[in-house]
């Protein structure tokens, strides 16, 4: 014979599921935030490469930390050094570097959209579970 769970067991199961869903939702939110910062950094790099190549020789400011800058002649943008992970850096011609950065940006955008979709699904499940929990608790308080 299968035993039906009591209302108290159902409430406890809902509370546990809500906790797990909230934890997962928070983790996804954290990942999305990291990816959004990475995307902004990627776009800033693309903007910098585009800006350096269009203008005649001018001074640029190099940040050295602590809010301090040094004036410097613009660096050559013929070749760009790109980090590809695991502390590995490769040198690419500017056009290839821009293409790689644009590809990276597209991949990050896709991942952000995927995570946003997962977060929306979790939010709907959380809302549904909370409504179910509230109905069980209100039924128990009426008894």
pLDDT for the residue 50: 85
CATH fold of 8-139 reads Helix Hairpins (1.10.287)
Distance CA 117, CA 122 (A): 9
Average pLDDT over residues 41-47: 93
> Is the model's pLDDT at 126 over the cut of 90?
yes
* Confidence band of 6 (pLDDT split at 50, 70, 90): confident
Lookup result for tokens 């996804």: 28
Question: CA–CA separation, 58 vs 138, rounded Å?
Answer: 70
| Calpha distance 23→122 (Å, rounded) | 10
Each domain of the chain, given as residue ranges in start order, spans 8-139
CB 77 within 8 A of CB 53: yes
Q: pTM to 2 decimals? A: 0.77
Question: Whats the size of the chain, residue-wise?
Answer: 143
81-125 pLDDT, tens digit per residue, is 999 889 999 999 999 999 999 999 999 999 999 999 999 999 999
The residue among 77, 111, 110 whose CA lies nearest residue 96 is 77
């Amino acid at each position: 014979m299968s035993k039906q769970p009591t209302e108290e067991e159902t409430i406890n199961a809902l509370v546990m599921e809500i906790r797990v869903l909230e934890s997962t939702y928070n983790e996804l939110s954290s990942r999305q935030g990291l990816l959004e910062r990475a995307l902004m950094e990627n776009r800033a790099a693309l903007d910098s490469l585009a800006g350096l190549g269009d203008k005649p020789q001018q001074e640029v400011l190099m940040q050295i930390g602590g809010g301090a800058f040094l004036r410097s002649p613009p660096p050559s943008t013929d070749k760009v050094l790109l980090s590809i992970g695991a502390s590995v850096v490769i040198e690419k011609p500017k056009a290839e570097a821009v293409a790689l950065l644009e590809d990276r940006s597209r991949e990050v955008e896709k991942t952000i959209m995927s995570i946003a979709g997962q977060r929306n699904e979790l939010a709907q499940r959380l809302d549904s579970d909370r409504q179910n929990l509230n109905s069980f608790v209100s039924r128990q308080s009426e008894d």
